[in-house]
Amino acid sequence: MSGAIWNLLSFIVALGILITVHEFGHFWVARKNGVLVKRFSIGFGKALLRWRDKQGTEFVIAAIPLGGYVRMLDERVDPVLPQFKDLAFNHKTVWQRMAIIAAGPAANFIFAILVLWLMYMLGVQTMRPVVADITPQSIAWQAGIPAQQQIIAVNQHQASDVNSVNLLLVEQIGRDSIELELKDLTTQQLRTVVLDTKNWKFNPEKQSVFDSLGLGLAKPKVLTNIAAIQKDSAADKAGLQINDKILSINDDAINDWQQLQGIITNSAEQPLTLLIQRAEQQLNVTVTPTLVIAKDGFSQGVLGVTPQVTDWPAGVLYTQQYGAFDAIGAGVAHTWQLTRLSFSMIGKLITGDVSVKHLSGPISIAQGAGTTASIGLVAFLSFLALISVNLGVINLLPLPVLDGGHLMYMLLELIRGKPVSEKTQEIGFRFGALILLMLMGIALFNDISRL
């Protein structure tokens, strides 16, 4: 199965699950409050499958899996016979209507907790946030952070794994300083350092948040020793052998694999002189990287070798796994962290601390769904929780076309003692739809530009 088809199928499965959860929240609370639900639809357009339950609700699975809706009996939409008015949404109290509207996003948050609960029950392989080295002249270097320190808190928020620290650091974008609590792995002593982030520049498309601060995490190192050679490749034809260590290229010393890869990539069909260490002797080998056209249309040089990689440092890699009760607490904590980060990022988009060019749309989501589904169930569950939280947060935004907009109108109704006029609501819906379409357009443009 091709990558694009796999991503699409994974996207449809993920979106279908999340939409069903969201709409079921509206559906369940509506019924509990005595509202007649006329239709529960997953998707739009032509119905592929439909059936009715004993209470008269029509359930539909439609052809276009890009959303869903719950259609309730409402006098503002359909004529309602006098004997059925008590079943109409608009005849319920403001608090009942608010509960029905809020139930959709709430269902997404509850679903995220349940998914993460299952994920932590199964066990998540992760790594401790151990700082192995510091980039000279970086923000971390200026703060005087030594190596072999484990980050245990960010701005007084405790964290035990790399993913949690990563989310906490991203949440600090736009702040003038970040407080880190560290534990020395040798002496076990604790210390607190403050990073000066007034001039912090972070581009998530080009680097990790740790690299942007100069924090080099403990992880396997990619060596300049050759682990494998592709048959009939440039390296094979030049006579390179497994375990050869590349010391220099054209008399320029090679310090790491990334440096070597950069030179090879930019030297297609150009003869290069490699100084290699083979057993007890050093040899000069001339190799000409093969010209290959990459997916982006640019040409690049390829040597045809795979580097050796060291083992994980002791004690860094571990499995987060909890019993049924503790897993609930971990799921709640992780969901809260994702929720807080989502709201924080929306605020930073408004203030300009985060650029709209980092918005992601359906293509990026589909790629994420496909990638995590390929890795395994645990990774896919983590992805579902993340998107579910984002769906809940986005729907709470006070845009009239979203659940948050409806809640805003109902809150005004509570304050004023009467509903907001239909004309005002219509203007708000058009304005909200315009903003939403504009953001979706930007996100889609960003997706396409990343291909």
Q: Looking at the structure, do residues 273 and 214 belong to the same domain, yes or no?
A: no
- Taken in order 93, 96, 98, 101, is the CA torsion positive or negative? negative
**To the nearest 10°, the Cα dihedral for 107, 110, 112, 117?**
-150
Say if CB 284 and CB 216 are below 8 A apart. Answer: no
Q: Looking at the structure, do residues 239 and 305 belong to the same domain, yes or no?
A: yes
**Residue where a domain stops, chosen among 289, 320, 351:** 320
- Please give the pLDDT value at position 141: 93
Q: Looking at the structure, do residues 210 and 167 belong to the same domain, yes or no?
A: yes
Q: Looking at the structure, do residues 210 and 249 belong to the same domain, yes or no?
A: no
Helix (H, G, I), strand (E, B) or coil at 68: strand
**Residue where a domain stops, chosen among 301, 320, 339:** 320
pLDDT in tens, the chain (451 residues): 556 777 778 878 888 899 999 999 999 999 999 999 999 999 888 888 999 998 889 999 988 887 888 999 988 888 888 888 889 898 899 999 999 999 999 999 999 999 999 999 999 888 999 998 898 999 999 999 888 899 999 999 988 889 899 889 888 888 899 999 999 888 889 999 999 999 888 887 778 889 899 998 988 988 999 999 999 999 999 999 999 999 999 988 988 888 888 899 888 889 999 999 998 899 999 999 998 876 656 778 889 999 999 988 888 888 999 999 999 999 999 999 999 988 888 887 777 777 666 666 566 666 666 666 666 788 888 889 988 998 999 899 888 888 998 899 899 988 888 888 888 888 888 887 788 777 777 766 665 665 5
Which of 23, 179, 280, 413 is labelled catalytic?
A: 23
Q: Does 87 fall in a domain? A: no
Q: Say which CATH number the domain at 265 has.
A: 2.30.42.10
- Please give the pLDDT value at position 186: 85
Q: Does 434 fall in a domain? A: no
- Please give the pLDDT value at position 365: 61
Q: Looking at the structure, do residues 205 and 260 belong to the same domain, yes or no?
A: no
- Taken in order 373, 377, 382, 388, is the CA torsion positive or negative? positive
Strand intervals (E) in 73-107: none
In total, how many domains does the chain have? 2
Q: Looking at the structure, do residues 135 and 215 belong to the same domain, yes or no?
A: yes
Q: How many CB atoms lie within 10 A of CB 430?
A: 11
Q: Does 53 fall in a domain? A: no
Query: What's the token pair of residue 47?
Result: 């119905």
Q: Does 435 fall in a domain? A: no
Write the CA distances from 402 to 328, 428, 431, 436, integer angstroms.
Answer: 29, 11, 11, 9
**Residue where a domain stops, chosen among 274, 301, 320:** 320
Residues 368, 374: Cα–Cα separation, whole Å: 10
- Please give the pLDDT value at position 419: 84
Say if CB 178 and CB 193 are below 8 A apart. Answer: no
- Please give the pLDDT value at position 147: 86
Q: Does 155 fall in a domain? A: yes
- Please give the pLDDT value at position 3: 64
- Please give the pLDDT value at position 111: 96
Biggest alpha carbon–alpha carbon distance for the chain: 97
Q: Looking at the structure, do residues 233 and 303 belong to the same domain, yes or no?
A: yes
- Please give the pLDDT value at position 76: 83
Domain extent for 129:
124-220+313-320
| Phi-psi sector, 317: left (phi>0), alpha (psi -120 to 50), beta | beta
Q: Looking at the structure, do residues 254 and 204 belong to the same domain, yes or no?
A: no
337 Cβ neighbours under 8 A, 6+ residues apart:
164, 167, 168
Can you name the residues that pair with 356 across neighbouring β-strands?
Answer: none
Q: Looking at the structure, do residues 147 and 172 belong to the same domain, yes or no?
A: yes
Q: Does 215 fall in a domain? A: yes
Q: Looking at the structure, do residues 231 and 190 belong to the same domain, yes or no?
A: no
Q: Looking at the structure, do residues 251 and 182 belong to the same domain, yes or no?
A: no
Residues 351, 242: Cα–Cα separation, whole Å: 53
Q: Does 19 fall in a domain? A: no
Could you confirm whether 179 is annotated as catalytic? no
Q: Looking at the structure, do residues 212 and 227 belong to the same domain, yes or no?
A: no
Q: Does 60 fall in a domain? A: no
- Please give the pLDDT value at position 72: 92
